[in-house]
Amino acid sequence: MRSFLKLWFKSAKLQIARRMAYRGEYFISLIAMFILELIGPLLIFIIYFNSEGFPGWTFYEVLLVQGILLTVKGFSFFSFAGIIWNSNVTLMRGEFDIVLLKPRNTLLMFICESFDAEDIAKFIGGLLITTYALSHINGITLVGIGLMIALMILGVGFYFIIALLASSFVFRFIRTFRIYEVMDIFELVGRYPKSIYPKAFGTLFTTLIPIFIIAVFPANALLGRLSIDMVFASVSIILLIFISLKIWFATIRRYASAGG
């Protein structure tokens, strides 16, 4: 693991250095990405103050959910979710064979080569929104913060599952850029508290597709609203990570060079 982290940081530095060759364009991209991601919190602001709000949630608690979601999403996208895009590109160019020839675990190498320097703006934006929301919430404890961080890590695991399954899908069917729209749907669902959904959907998004682990459950944990659903979602994430890894490596074993 230490060796992988060292390699990942070197790859990240290299990718950032490449973008810094055109600093103006890179900084404009970061600013544009940051502004674009503010649309979600702005939409929540409009909904909250032009409706009856969300039962059992104050505005800053709902804003906390947005900040956590953007933090988890941003970290996932700049660190490993680029494997979805990279799968499409390397297959079309016939370059994935080069990854297979490298003397490291194929998935780890693929992750290192998929670092996305632009999505750092999402992560920074998420941290800023989370910090701002926390400054307006009382009764925060160290235990709550610890539970929130632990569940956020599992939220990153959810994006890891989606990235692996999407990458596997790309290797089977080629040129499937629409997969990002599926991720947008998951994000849209995860923006809102579980209480607004019908019971059946709440159960679905807790166990089979544990979307609430991305932001809603971490926020609940920080606020001291612990529930058995968090345990179910955590177990589901761990099982799905194992399954998605099996699927990804099984797909790679069937890879027949450029073309799928």
* 158 touches 71 (CB < 8 A): no
- Residue pair 69/215 in contact (Cβ under 8 Å)? The answer is yes
- Identify the pLDDT of residue 258: 57
Spatial distance between the Cα atoms of 87 and 160, rounded to a whole number of angstroms: 14
Q: Let me know if 89 is exposed, middle or buried by CB neighbors in 10 A (0-12, 13-18, 19+).
A: middle
Note if the pTM is more than 0.85: yes
**Which CA distances in Å does 260 have to 87, 174, 180, 227, 256?**
10, 7, 20, 44, 6
Domain range list for the chain: 2-253
Give, for all 260 residues of the chain, the pLDDT tens digit: 677 778 778 877 887 877 777 778 778 888 888 887 788 788 888 888 887 777 788 899 999 999 999 999 999 988 888 888 888 878 777 777 787 777 778 888 888 888 888 888 889 999 999 999 999 998 889 999 999 999 999 999 999 999 999 888 888 776 666 677 777 787 778 788 887 788 787 788 888 889 999 999 999 999 989 889 999 999 999 999 999 999 999 988 887 765 54
The CA distance from 22 to 161, in Å, is 33
